Amino acid sequence: MTDAEVDQKLAAMGLQLPEPAAPVAAYVPVVVSGGQAYVSGQLPFVDGRLVTGRLGEDVSLEEGAAAARACGLMVLAQLKAALGSLGRIERVIKLGAFVSSAAEFTDQPKVANGASDLMVAVFGEAGKHARSAVGVPVLPLGAAVEVDAIVAVSPV
């Protein structure tokens, strides 16, 4: 798949890749090793604004899923910056979704579907992946959701 094809699929969904966010601490956004790319946790930026809050308190399920999709877009933006082309992605192996949640909130998997559905929409069968969806009491910068990823990549 070429970058143009990814852009076309995103445009059909009314989406586009954001500018890759700079790290906020002592880490790199992506490490490529042994045919895999490991993407650090990405936060949800919508229209340049960080989506903050807690699911089950002040963030709805729909807003949470949209935030997870925004995290997925940032994952793709980081991969494009690190790999030079999203065409090198062979398979999305695993996503990890961390959801800032009130104690009684139990729909973390539905929130994580925002990122998962994006990967399948963009990469088809190669976008289907293993996943974890975990509720946490707080995330960096007060973010509502954070998503990290492991993807299989072709050599340069």
pLDDT in tens, 82-96: 999 999 999 999 999
pLDDT band at 6 (very low <50, low <70, confident <90, very high): confident
Q: In whole angstroms, what is the distance from residue 80 CA to residue 17 CA?
A: 9
- Cβ atoms of 35 and 12 closer than 8 Å: no
**Which domains can be identified in the chain, with CATH numbers?**
3-18+30-153 (3.30.1330.40)
Q: Six-digit token pair at 103?
A: 């104690």
Segment 95-115, tens digit of pLDDT: 999 999 999 999 999 999 999
| E strands present in the chain | 30-33, 36-42, 45-46, 49-50, 89-100, 130-136, 145-153
State the pLDDT at residue 7.
86
Side chain identity at 86, as an amino acid letter?
L
pTM, two decimal places = 0.96
* Mean model confidence pLDDT for the chain: 96
